[in-house]
């Protein structure tokens, strides 16, 4: 390839410019492994992606950031491997902006590439390596003259990050560039990372790339802010320097260990390296979108992108054990599949046509995510089953529409059809037009926005609380979850397995497979078993073992999950061999069961077919 053409859509204008001549093309797999190899050569241990279902953070539905599975180690727990340098690629799911999917950048499933220092190297090495990987022949060979960076300007809680500034200053000076037009100090909203009101936090340095090729001369700060607003530059990497500790929203001092947490989105960096105008034009999606075009009788690019994104996300969710339902993770999966079906109908794709896309994604990711090969048939079955259920729901929705269409359809009517029956507003408008009635789309849009804002706010708070809350209350409930699972296995049978959990400072919620509601007697017995073990004041300990040896201990773990070579087992009792309960887990936990206090199961309910949920609180 004699050069790469860079394209960027700004408003309705397509800007095209030539990258520095590069006689190489890198596909997404090569980009992923170039990142990993770069840091492995610099002493980092490669750890596999964690499941999309959080193991150490039961307060969130999915892993939504690369750092999420590593929170215990960033907070001071030694990594099971003993390594202080880690590199990984982490699968993530976010659905806060699901209605934006199909534009140039938004995705529900994505991968984060990260390198991590757990009390080892700090700002100088992290920044220098970031620059080297982005611009050198060993890395992505991006044009350094199109690179801009931001650093923390300081506030009443923490000083200006002069160390990061000096490192970048020397980098740009050595490259013969005017650093004053490359480095910009920004406030806490832009360049400070914090998981919430408690825990490790610190300044960060963000890297931006000029996607137009027209801003190589350097920029003033005002020009930089304007270019960012107009998407002429895009963020491609972020180095977070965790050096402070926060409690109740206030910085209380510096951490014992200074950590580095970096993140670069694979889809975005692939888009930049391949010189594409959007993530869907990369090798990650184009073969699938081309296949959708073959199956479709209608040319609608946004619909094709939505289908590709949603099927890819569904493939990974199902492979990690999520099944479609009306609550929590299952609801997210159901919504993704049904939206894909909806848009496939819009494109005129025959029923069952989505299954062929599954095989394409399995082939694409089978090397780095081998569990999707094992689950391939299950994935197809689940998607096909949900498609059939959705079409049945649509029939019920049509009956409801017939009732509502006897008069003009209000915003509330349209929202009901959308939220309860899966009717897209476009379908409601089309059917209403045939009936000769009007739809109050404006009021519908307002109601939908209110719903999205509420969902987004809830999701953000949930994510924030999950990372930040290692309070005594949540810690007690985390250990109580282990006792609960053991008691359920004793009372209901060893086949009982965890399907999800959620802990707050007020209660724990636990999902598990079981075919019927628990009787009053079963609930009383489970409570009694847990409280007996609490009264026995059993010691809670942990040990790190090689994965094969850890499995051999009989400790509970998820068979479908991908664990590192060294895993942590928390056990309750005098020893690992004689422990009452032992599980693969990352904490946090109490030191003694007596710290939990007596519990009661105060509520139970059905989550989906074959899955029960119980609520537990300390009394």
E strands, 119-268, are 147-152, 183-186, 192-193, 199-210, 233-247, 250-265
Nearest alpha-carbon partner for 93 in 110, 81, 78: 110
Do the strands 192-193 and 199-210 form a parallel or antiparallel pair, or are they unpaired?
antiparallel
Within 13 Å and on the Cβ side, how many CA atoms surround 169? Answer: 10
Instruction: List domains and CATH numbers for the chain.
Output: 5-277 (3.30.930.10), 472-618 (3.30.980.10)
* Token couple for 508: 């724990």
Q: Find the helix packing angle between 411-421 and 425-435, rounded to 10°.
A: 120
How many residues are listed for the chain in this entry? 619
User: For residue 365, what are the CA distances in angstroms to 91, 246, 280, 568?
Assistant: 11, 39, 16, 28
Predicted pLDDT of residue 7: 36
Phi, psi angle pair for 346, to nearest 5°: -60, -35
Predicted pLDDT of residue 469: 55
Predicted pLDDT of residue 587: 66
Dihedral (C-alpha) 546, 83, 72, 93: value to the nearest 10 degrees?
-90
Does the predicted TM-score (pTM) go above 0.85? Answer: no
Whether 358 and 315 have beta carbons less than 8 Å apart is answered as yes
Q: What share of the chain is helix, strand, coil (3-state, %, to 5)?
A: 45, 25, 35
Q: CA–CA separation, 390 vs 549, rounded Å?
A: 45
The pLDDT averaged over each successive group of 10 residues in the chain (619 residues) is 33 35 73 96 94 74 86 82 94 88 90 95 97 96 96 92 97 96 94 79 94 92 93 92 85 87 93 91 96 93 96 96 84 90 90 90 95 94 90 82 90 83 76 89 81 53 45 85 94 88 84 90 94 93 85 83 75 91 84 91 84 90
Dihedral (C-alpha) 326, 93, 614, 473: value to the nearest 10 degrees?
-150
Whether 195 and 177 have beta carbons less than 8 Å apart is answered as no
Predicted pLDDT of residue 460: 44
Q: In the beta sheet, which residues pair with residue 205?
A: 239
Nearest alpha-carbon partner for 259 in 78, 428, 513, 505: 78
* Token couple for 150: 């931001």
Whether 546 and 534 have beta carbons less than 8 Å apart is answered as no
Q: CA–CA separation, 32 vs 133, rounded Å?
A: 12
Q: CA–CA separation, 335 vs 325, rounded Å?
A: 9
Q: Is 463 helix (H, G, I), strand (E, B) or coil?
A: helix
Predicted pLDDT of residue 459: 45
Q: CA–CA separation, 556 vs 550, rounded Å?
A: 10
Predicted pLDDT of residue 18: 34
The DSSP H or E segment spanning 613 is strand 611-618
* Token couple for 600: 């009661």
Nearest alpha-carbon partner for 280 in 257, 254, 309, 253: 309
Q: CA–CA separation, 533 vs 517, rounded Å?
A: 24
Q: Is 604 helix (H, G, I), strand (E, B) or coil?
A: strand
Predicted pLDDT of residue 15: 34
Predicted pLDDT of residue 196: 67
Predicted pLDDT of residue 59: 61
Q: CA–CA separation, 187 vs 203, rounded Å?
A: 10
If one counts every other C-beta atom within 10 angstroms of the C-beta of residue 277, the result is 17
Cis previous bond, 201, omega within 30: no
Predicted pLDDT of residue 20: 39
C-alpha 30, offset from chain centre: 22
Q: What sign does the CA torsion over 385, 388, 391, 395 have?
A: negative
Q: CA–CA separation, 555 vs 582, rounded Å?
A: 5
Whether 420 and 413 have beta carbons less than 8 Å apart is answered as no
């Amino acid at each position: 390839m004699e050069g790469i053409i860079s394209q960027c859509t700004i408003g309705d204008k397509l800007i095209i410019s030539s990258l520095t001549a590069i006689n190489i093309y890198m596909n997404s797999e090569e980009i992923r492994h170039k990142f990993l190899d770069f840091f492995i050569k610099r002493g980092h241990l490669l750890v596999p992606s964690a499941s999309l279902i959080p193991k150490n953070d039961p307060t969130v539905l999915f892993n939504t950031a690369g750092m999420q599975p590593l929170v215990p180690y960033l907070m001071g727990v030694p990594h099971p491997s003993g390594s202080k340098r880690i590199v990984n690629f982490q699968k993530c799911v976010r659905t806060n902006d699901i209605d934006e999917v199909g534009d140039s950048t938004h995705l529900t499933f994505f991968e984060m590439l990260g390198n991590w220092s757990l009390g080892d190297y700090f700002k100088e090495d992290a920044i220098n390596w970031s620059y080297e990987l982005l611009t050198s022949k060993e890395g992505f060979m991006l044009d350094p003259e199109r690179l801009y960076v931001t650093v923390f300007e300081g506030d009443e809680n923490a000083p200006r990050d002069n160390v990061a500034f000096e490192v970048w200053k020397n980098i740009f000076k050595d490259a013969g560039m005017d650093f004053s037009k490359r480095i910009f100090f920004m406030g806490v909203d832009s360049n400070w990372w914090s998981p919430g009101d408690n825990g490790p936090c610190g300044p960060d340095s963000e890297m931006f790339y000029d996607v137009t090729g027209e801003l190589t001369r350097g920029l003033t700060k005002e020009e930089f802010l304007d270019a960012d607003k107009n998407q002429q530059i895009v963020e491609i990497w972020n180095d977070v320097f965790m050096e402070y500790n926060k409690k109740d929203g206030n910085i209380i001092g510096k951490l014992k260990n200074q950590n580095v947490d970096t993140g670069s989105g694979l889809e975005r960096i692939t888009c930049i390296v391949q010189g594409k105008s959007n993530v869907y034009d990369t090798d990650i999606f184009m073969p699938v979108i081309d296949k959708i075009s073959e199956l479709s009788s209608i040319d609608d690019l946004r619909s094709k992108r939505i289908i590709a994104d949603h099927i890819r996300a569904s493939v990974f969710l199902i492979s990690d054990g999520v099944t479609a339902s009306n609550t929590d993770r299952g609801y997210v999966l159901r919504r993704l599949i049904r939206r894909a079906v909806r848009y496939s109908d819009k494109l005129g794709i025959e029923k069952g046509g989505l299954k062929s896309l599954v095989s394409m994604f399995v082939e694409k990711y089978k090397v780095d995510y081998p569990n999707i090969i094992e689950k391939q048939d299950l994935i197809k079955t689940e998607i096909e089953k949900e498609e059939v259920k959705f079409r049945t729901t649509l029939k019920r929705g049509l009956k409801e529409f017939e009732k509502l269409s006897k008069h003009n359809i209000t915003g509330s009517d349209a929202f009901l059809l959308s939220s309860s029956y899966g009717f897209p507003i476009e379908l409601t408008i089309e059917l209403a037009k045939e009936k000769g009635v009007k739809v109050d789309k404006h009021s519908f849009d307002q109601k939908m926005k209110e719903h999205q804002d509420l969902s987004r706010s809830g999701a953000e708070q949930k994510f924030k609380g999950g990372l930040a809350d290692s309070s005594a209350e949540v810690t007690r409930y985390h250990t109580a979850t282990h006792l609960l699972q053991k008691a359920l296995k004793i009372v209901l049978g060893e086949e009982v397995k965890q399907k999800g959990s959620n802990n707050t400072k007020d209660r724990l919620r636990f999902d598990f497979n079981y075919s019927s509601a628990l009787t009053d007697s079963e609930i009383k017995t489970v409570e009694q078993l847990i409280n007996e073990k609490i009264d026995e004041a059993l010691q809670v300990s942990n040990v790190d073992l090689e994965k094969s040896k850890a499995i051999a201990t009989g400790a509970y773990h998820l068979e479908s999950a991908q664990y590192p070579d060294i895993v942590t087992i928390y056990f309750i009792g005098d020893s690992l061999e004689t422990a009452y309960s032992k599980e693969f887990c990352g904490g946090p936990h109490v030191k003694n069961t007596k710290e939990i206090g007596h519990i009661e199961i105060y509520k139970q309910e059905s989550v989906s077919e074959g899955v029960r949920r119980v609520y537990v609180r300390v009394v």
